[in-house]
């Protein structure tokens, strides 16, 4: 008898309900998914994300037309506008749904204070993989400032490294022209951090940015420029540029002689000569030639 009872209960609570039973009535009111008119939704004025990529929205709109909204929006009632709801989380889905000409959207209505609304929106935005580095930085900064949360507390909430978050927020200290270059994908986040290391010499920051873009420097090359510039006292830009170069007439001559790529990496004192090889046989050939 006890075995039969155990097996019956082991099928789970759902097995006790009929197939047409509306399980949503078991949920708290604030957790139920409702369908409401898209015209009754209003974007949150505190939405951290300000820029929405048109192509990405078009792609999402096409997906919504085919598959619908897979994740409900989170909204809250607007006290002074009966029948209207402020979007806490999901404005990108809302915009794409308008492009798809949807009339209604699935939502979860939250009864939250304004401060909590913004916190939910910020956390969702930070966790989105398609946020730009500067948008992520701004969102973390807002959490830190408006909610009196330490970076450690924010990192724990987001499952991120505190140092990574703090370094990300530092991107907000970039000069505007560097921010523009980062937003336009002309430089990477690594490049941006390297530019930040010259914060006390704005003219050198612009010099570095121009070199990254014009000469297509890697992050490693940008770092070598900064190191060289600092070791040279911060003024000898021409020599710092030369120290970034991985090839010289001498290395090119050596490379031709041993029939292998040769590069030089300068350090604070001296540097390293690097010889590349294809495989073990190629390495043996080079060594035999050198000795």
List the catalytic residues. 91
CB 61 within 8 A of CB 96: yes
Q: In the sheet that 85-89 helps form, which strands lie side by side, from edge to edge?
A: 33-37, 104-109, 73-77, 85-89, 41-42
| Helices and strands, counts by H and E, the chain | 14, 7
Rg (CA), the chain: 28
Strands 271-275, 33-37: pairing kind: unpaired
> Tokens for 56?
């990405």
Q: What are phi and psi of 67, to 5 degrees?
A: -120, -10
Tell me the two tokens of residue 70: 């897979």
How is residue 256 written in tokens? 């031709």
What is the spatial distance between Cα 13 and Cα 81, in angstroms, rounded to a whole number?
40
Quote the CA–CA distance of 216 and 46 in Å, as a whole number.
Answer: 37
What would the two tokens of residue 86 be?
């402020």
Question: H helices of 128-248, where?
Answer: 133-146, 151-158, 162-169, 176-183, 189-196, 202-214, 219-231, 237-244
């Amino acid at each position: 008898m006890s075995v039969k009872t155990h097996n019956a209960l082991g099928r789970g609570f759902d097995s006790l309900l009929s197939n047409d039973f509306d399980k949503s009535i078991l949920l708290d009111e604030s957790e139920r998914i409702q369908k409401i008119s898209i015209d009754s939704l209003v974007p949150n004025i505190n939405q951290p994300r300000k820029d929405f990529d048109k192509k990405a929205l078009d792609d999402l709109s096409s997906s919504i037309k085919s598959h619908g909204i897979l994740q409900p929006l989170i909204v809250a009632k607007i006290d002074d506008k009966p029948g209207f709801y402020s979007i806490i989380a999901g404005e990108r889905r809302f915009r794409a749904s308008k492009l798809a000409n949807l009339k209604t959207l699935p939502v979860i209505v939250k009864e939250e204070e304004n401060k909590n609304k913004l916190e939910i929106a910020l956390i969702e935005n930070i966790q989105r993989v398609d946020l730009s580095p500067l948008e992520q930085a701004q969102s973390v900064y807002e959490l830190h400032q408006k909610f009196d949360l330490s970076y450690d507390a924010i990192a724990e909430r987001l499952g991120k490294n505190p140092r990574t978050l703090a370094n990300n927020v530092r991107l907000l200290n970039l000069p505007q022209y560097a921010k523009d270059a980062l937003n336009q994908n002309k430089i990477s986040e690594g490049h941006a951090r390297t530019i930040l290391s010259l914060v006390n010499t704005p003219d050198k920051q612009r010099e570095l940015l121009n070199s990254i873009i014009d000469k297509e420097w890697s992050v490693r090359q940008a770092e070598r420029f900064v190191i060289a510039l600092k070791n040279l006292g911060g003024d000898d830009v021409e020599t710092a540029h030369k120290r970034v170069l991985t090839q010289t007439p001498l290395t090119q001559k050596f490379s031709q002689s041993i029939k292998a790529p040769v590069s030089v990496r300068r350090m604070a004192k001296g540097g390293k000569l690097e010889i590349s090889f294809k495989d073990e046989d190629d390495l043996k050939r080079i060594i035999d030639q050198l000795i």
